[in-house]
Structure 1
Amino acid sequence: MTFVLLLLVNVAVGNIGINFIRNNQGVNDGIFIIKQSVTFGPFQQHLLSWEGLFWFIMLSIDAAIVWWRLVRIYKRIEIGRIIEELHYISAGHYDHRIPFHLSGDNQRVVTSVNGLVDNVIKSLEDERKIEKSKDDLVTSVSHDLRTPLTSIIGYLGLVKNKQYNSEEDLQKFVNVAYDKSEQMKKLVDQLFEYTKANNLVDRKLEIDAININQLLAQLEISFELEAKKKDISVKVEPLKENLIMHTSAELIGRVFNNLITNAIAYGEGASKIVLSARPKGQMVEFRVANDGKPIAKEVVNKIFDRFYREENSRNTNTGGSGLGLAIVHEIINNQGGSIRVESNEKITEFIFTLPINQTKKS
């Protein structure tokens, strides 16, 4: 169609142009001058006539128009290929990406489409993880609440039906029900604490000036009696020079409380817990270490997961909920720090960092 139109235009314009030139002597003289200045070929030949110059110009215009049309057709073909690939992906082939490389703006479209598909896949995977996390949360909470609740109902049922032989039995049943109630309350409190830690991003923090050496000394005193019950001593390795850090006293207290309590409860065979700190650039690195039984490598990788516990820790003696370390992980991450565990036959260390100067908002 383009060639037919060009042919008709050339014939029409040619007839009009040639008649105009023939009837205008000034135009003829101008064309003669142009003709003498235009050469072509290896022998620098001149155009033989002004008609040749006219048709040379017309053919150049025709070539430019044809090239422009071919480029547009090629671009349209590229867009068609992109649309075909999009239809294929939208049919459910989300692992497919547009494989070919184009030029110019069309390549930007290809890159954007592939990036969009990658983001959609990542969003779907994140959504599945969130759904699984919710299911795990419900399962874990149900398990941890049902066990003490069953005991409470059982023992209170015995009391209600007066199925006890003495006041001593009655007191025993009531004590067990009370202990199980305390266990449930502890779990609910930790769930609430975990939720608060998870929402720190939207919470303005009260920043306090904390002397690190004084903090460690205070922790040593606070946990001395509790640790002594298990024949464990709490020791501090202070900084050589006092260092003031600006952070939330409430949050750092919760971190140390959970880590030290965890070390006392699960540091089997430990004789000491060592608290230490050292500056590390714009961060402070803290360590809570104990010389108890090492943590298995497969456990280290999961230890900060919500509700994760070793099977032998699911007992009434420790009363672990599996939330303490998850709370620690959330608090530290939300304040721009990091935490890791190193454990061997000699020592188990929880190592975490926090900024020396914490901003008002985590």
Structure 2
Amino acid sequence: MKKERVKLTATEKSELFAEGVITVVLLLLLNLSIIILINLTILQNKNLINGIYFLKKTITFYGGHLIWSWQNILLMIMGLADLIVLYWRLIRRYHQMQLRHVISELHYIAQGHFDHYISFKVKTDLQKVIDSINSLVASTVSAINEEKAIEQSKDELISNVSHDIRTPLTSIIGYLGLLKTGVSNPEDQQKYLNIAYTKAEQMKSLAHDLLEYTTLKSTNIKLNLSPLHIFSMLEQVEAGFEFEAQEKNVEFKIEVRPQNLTIQADPEKLVRVYNNLITNALKYGTGATQIKLIANLVNDTEVELRVENNGAKIPQASLKKIFERFYRVETSRNTKTGGTGLGLSITKSIIDLHHGKIRCESDDHWTRFIIQLPLNPKNAKISS
């Protein structure tokens, strides 16, 4: 924001001009009074006249020049003093006008224009006040925007939850209604029961994920940190998906460097991260034949964890939103697979709790979820 000096109004310019004129008149009257008093004093004291005459004759400058007339020197001193007083009066009045402008801006902000900044600058300590006001405005604007974002987030949460609950609930009520009428044959009844059960499981999954998401977002949540051997954990995670991987002809590959890599983490929550990422790869990594679970020690304080699959590429436009709550790359596909749209958001929340970072990269060959974690979240918290 480009700042300019205070622009005076026509009235203020007239006021400043009047101040200058009045000051000049008063100074001239004062000077005249001083000259009259000095002349009267000199006329009444002959010794003073002789002293002045003696000084004029004896004081010389370079080249033998005598001192000027004392009247001229006095007039020069008085003229210089007059200029100083005139400047001081005018600049004081100008600063008062600047202060009036600041007060006017404050009144404008107080009327509800909380995003209004004071756009002019001054060369006095008043600038510190202006900078403080602008900082306060910036904080207020940030708080208002954050409040709007939270309000919008709540509305979106209610809307998404309502939609995701209503869809399976409508199916459950519909099929239970058919069973209630008793007009369907036994084969159809079993089919309707299976569909209703599946939809109920989707609702249960949504409720569970929603509860976990809101719990992780709570400021009271704490990590149960303990030493976690990465290779052993990855072997257990792989075993949990062995059957599903065989059905989809997907092969797991584990790479840990060094082999005995151990970090401080919450085992239950970190396993949930891997479960979410692997489930995501198996459900939506269309055409994938391999899932890699990679862990590398980066330095003395950080470790990098990767979950990679060679399935379908995630569109570039979706990569920035993929960790947002309820975001789905393809809504229709997620409806069929029963995804809640909260898995990756829960994953990011868990990584945030560990003071880590997560990002997603995807090209025509591999989709990679890359996690950076501190070896000890407690040390990361202290350093931050």
TM-score range, shorter chain: 0.7 to 0.9
**Does structure 2 conserve the Cα–Cα contact (< 8 Å) formed by 1:332 and 1:354?**
yes
Relative to structure 1, the CA distance from residue 92 to residue 177 in structure 2 (aligned partners, 3 Å threshold; closer, same or farther) is same
Residue 147 of structure 1 corresponds to 167
Residue 367 of structure 2 corresponds to 348
Q: Which one of 274, 285, 292 corresponds to residue 267 of structure 1?
A: 285
Q: What is the TM-score of this pair, normalised by structure 1? A: 0.82
Q: Percent identity?
A: 42
Residue 254 of structure 2 corresponds to 236
Q: CA deviation at 1:103?
A: 2.2
Q: Residues 263-309 of structure 1, C-alpha deviation per residue, up to 9 Å, x if partnerless?
A: 12212222221100112232211110112222222222321121111
Residue 96 of structure 2 corresponds to 76
Higher deviation after alignment, 90-99 or 133-142: 90-99
Residue 345 of structure 2 corresponds to 326
| Residue segments in structure 1 that go unaligned for 5+ positions in a row | none
Amino acid in structure 1 at the alignment position of 2:98:
E
**Does structure 1 conserve the Cα–Cα contact (< 8 Å) formed by 2:252 and 2:292?**
yes
Residues 1:2 and 2:23 are matched in the alignment: yes
Relative to structure 1, the CA distance from residue 163 to residue 33 in structure 2 (aligned partners, 3 Å threshold; closer, same or farther) is farther
Provide the secondary structure at the position in 1 that maps to 2:378. Answer: coil
Q: CA deviation at 1:149?
A: 0.7
Provide the secondary structure at the position in 2 that maps to 1:238. Answer: strand
Residue 48 of structure 1 corresponds to 69
**Does structure 2 conserve the Cα–Cα contact (< 8 Å) formed by 1:206 and 1:248?**
yes
Residues 216-235 of structure 1: pairs in structure 2 closer than 5 A: 216-235=234-253
The whole-number CA distance in structure 1 between the counterparts of 2:303 and 2:58 is 81
Relative to structure 1, the CA distance from residue 252 to residue 40 in structure 2 (aligned partners, 3 Å threshold; closer, same or farther) is farther
The whole-number CA distance in structure 2 between the counterparts of 1:187 and 1:97 is 45
Relative to structure 1, the CA distance from residue 24 to residue 245 in structure 2 (aligned partners, 3 Å threshold; closer, same or farther) is farther
Provide the secondary structure at the position in 2 that maps to 1:213. Answer: helix
Q: Residues 84-135 of structure 1, C-alpha deviation per residue, up to 9 Å, x if partnerless?
A: 6667778888887655543233444554455554444444443333333222
The whole-number CA distance in structure 2 between the counterparts of 1:37 and 1:191 is 102
Higher deviation after alignment, 333-342 or 100-109: 100-109
Q: Which one of 334, 344, 360 corresponds to residue 314 of structure 1?
A: 334
Relative to structure 1, the CA distance from residue 40 to residue 126 in structure 2 (aligned partners, 3 Å threshold; closer, same or farther) is farther
**Higher relative CO (CA 8 A, sep ≥ 6), structure 1 or 2?**
1
Residues 63-142 of structure 1: pairs in structure 2 closer than 5 A: 63-82=83-102, 100-142=120-162
Q: CA deviation at 1:35?
A: 7.8
Provide the secondary structure at the position in 1 that maps to 2:257. Answer: coil
Residues 1:301 and 2:320 are matched in the alignment: yes
The whole-number CA distance in structure 2 between the counterparts of 1:17 and 1:205 is 89
Relative to structure 1, the CA distance from residue 156 to residue 64 in structure 2 (aligned partners, 3 Å threshold; closer, same or farther) is same
Q: CA deviation at 1:148?
A: 0.8
Higher deviation after alignment, 89-98 or 176-185: 89-98
Provide the secondary structure at the position in 2 that maps to 1:289. Answer: strand
Provide the secondary structure at the position in 2 that maps to 1:354. Answer: strand
Provide the secondary structure at the position in 2 that maps to 1:258. Answer: helix
Provide the secondary structure at the position in 2 that maps to 1:275. Answer: strand
Q: CA deviation at 1:337?
A: 1.9
Provide the secondary structure at the position in 2 that maps to 1:336. Answer: coil
Residue 17 of structure 2 corresponds to none
Q: CA deviation at 1:353?
A: 0.8
**Does structure 2 conserve the Cα–Cα contact (< 8 Å) formed by 1:303 and 1:325?**
yes
**Does structure 2 conserve the Cα–Cα contact (< 8 Å) formed by 1:294 and 1:347?**
yes
The whole-number CA distance in structure 2 between the counterparts of 1:103 and 1:336 is 44
Q: What is the TM-score of this pair, normalised by structure 2? A: 0.78
**Does structure 1 conserve the Cα–Cα contact (< 8 Å) formed by 2:304 and 2:371?**
yes
Q: Which one of 342, 358, 378 corresponds to residue 359 of structure 1?
A: 378
Residues 1:337 and 2:356 are matched in the alignment: yes
Provide the secondary structure at the position in 1 that maps to 2:263. Answer: strand
The whole-number CA distance in structure 1 between the counterparts of 2:60 and 2:180 is 118
| Residue segments in structure 2 that go unaligned for 5+ positions in a row | 1-21
**Does structure 2 conserve the Cα–Cα contact (< 8 Å) formed by 1:304 and 1:329?**
yes
Q: CA deviation at 1:329?
A: 1.8
The whole-number CA distance in structure 1 between the counterparts of 2:334 and 2:53 is 105
**Does structure 2 conserve the Cα–Cα contact (< 8 Å) formed by 1:205 and 1:360?**
no
Q: CA deviation at 1:251?
A: 2.5
**Does structure 2 conserve the Cα–Cα contact (< 8 Å) formed by 1:203 and 1:361?**
no
The whole-number CA distance in structure 2 between the counterparts of 1:31 and 1:141 is 101
Relative to structure 1, the CA distance from residue 61 to residue 172 in structure 2 (aligned partners, 3 Å threshold; closer, same or farther) is same
**Does structure 2 conserve the Cα–Cα contact (< 8 Å) formed by 1:337 and 1:353?**
yes
